[in-house]
Amino acid sequence: MGKRSFASYDDSYLFFECASPRVSGSDKAPVRILGSLVYTKKPDTDSRDRRENNLTVLHAASLAVAKKMECADDAGLPAKADLRERKPSTAPAP
């Protein structure tokens, strides 16, 4: 999802790129936006459900931002969170 996403039991991150008429020059060089969800107190347990819920909430918030900013093609974010695991990219970190 997005350019890169990561979820653990106590935090999640989602990077996406936005070309928007609201951001000058982003049609040539899209702005990279980082969404994060971080607990102020670490949860006691880890589970796949917790990680997926964290990323689902973060995806919904990121999609809302992309829509509000009028990002082209909703910044490539799908309408529904895609939680399929993928191999890590060898590309440099954003």
* Residue 14 belongs to domain spanning: 4-76
Number of domains forming the structure of the chain = 1
Tell me the mean pLDDT in the region 9-16.
Answer: 92
Please indicate, yes or no, if residue 88 is contained in any of the structural domains: no
Please indicate, yes or no, if residue 24 is contained in any of the structural domains: yes
CA 67 to CA 55: how far, in whole Å?
Answer: 18
Name the DSSP letter for residue 45.
-
Please indicate, yes or no, if residue 89 is contained in any of the structural domains: no
Better-predicted residue by pLDDT, 62 or 88: 62
| 37 phi, psi to nearest 5 deg | -130, 115
Better-predicted residue by pLDDT, 89 or 40: 40
Please indicate, yes or no, if residue 46 is contained in any of the structural domains: yes
pLDDT band at 36 (very low <50, low <70, confident <90, very high): very high
pLDDT band at 41 (very low <50, low <70, confident <90, very high): confident
Please indicate, yes or no, if residue 86 is contained in any of the structural domains: no
Q: What pLDDT does 94 receive?
A: 53
